[in-house]
Amino acid sequence: MKKNLFNGIRSIITRDLKRLWIDRIRLFAGLLQPLLYLFLLGAGLGPVTILGTRYISFIFPGIVALSLLLTASISGISIVYDREMGFLKAVLAVPVSRQEIALAKILSGGIQAMIEGCLILLFTPFTNVHPFFPIAYLFPLVMFFCAMVFSALGVAIATRFKSAEVFPIFLNAILLPMFFISGAMFLLKLSPGWL
C-alpha cells in the first residue's frame, strides 16, 4: 500500500515537473516579475537607504519570497486546467486518496517554486547582499518551508475554482496585498497606523 502511495505521489510530481521542463517559457516568465521589482524598483530607488542598507539589498530577501509566493501559489492552476480537460477525473480514479493527490500537488508546486527561488538567488552578487555564513544555511530551509506553505495556499484556493481565467485574478487579489503589507518593500513601523 505504501509503495502505491509513493508511486502515485511521485507520478503526479514527475508529470508536473515534466510540464515545467517542456514549457520553459513559463519558468522564465515567472522570473520576470520578481526581477522587475528587484532591478527597476531597486535601481530606481538606489540612493535610498533603509536601516543603513541600500534599498536593493533591503528588498532582495522579499523578492526571493515574492518569487516563491507567486510560483508556488500559481502552480495550483494545474488543478483547474486538469479539471477543465477531464484529466482530474482520471487521476481521481486511481487508487490514491484525494489527500495524497493534494499532497503531491503541494510538493510539486513547492519544488517548482524552489527552482525559481534558487534562480533568483543567482542574482545575489548584483544586490550587494553579503550572507552571514553561520546562519546562511538556514535560508534554503526557510525557502523550502515558505514554498510548501504558499503551494498549499494555491492548491486550497484552486480546488474551489472551475475556470482557469478567474483563478489567477482571484489569486492576485489575495497575493499582492499580502506581499505589499509583508514588510518586504518598506518598513511597516514607518507606515501609517491603519496599514
Residue at 127 is within a domain: yes
Residue 5 has pLDDT above 70, yes or no: no
Is the pLDDT at 195 greater than 70? The verdict is: no
Task: Give the domain extent around 82.
Answer: 2-190
- The verdict on residue 114 lying in a domain is yes
Number of domains in the chain: 1
Per-residue pLDDT tens over the stretch 46-85: 677 777 778 888 888 888 888 888 888 888 787 787 777 7
Give pLDDT, residue 87: 67
Look at residue 195 and tell me if it is in a domain. Answer: no
Burial (CB < 10 A; 0-12, 13-18, 19+), residue 135, is: exposed
pLDDT of residue 93: 65
- Please identify which residue in the block is written with the cell numbers 506553505: 149
The yes-or-no verdict on residue 14 having pLDDT over 60 is yes
Cα distances (angstroms) measured from residue 5 to each of 83, 139, 143, 187: 22, 30, 26, 45
Encode pLDDT of 171-193 as tens digits.
888 888 888 788 777 777 777 77
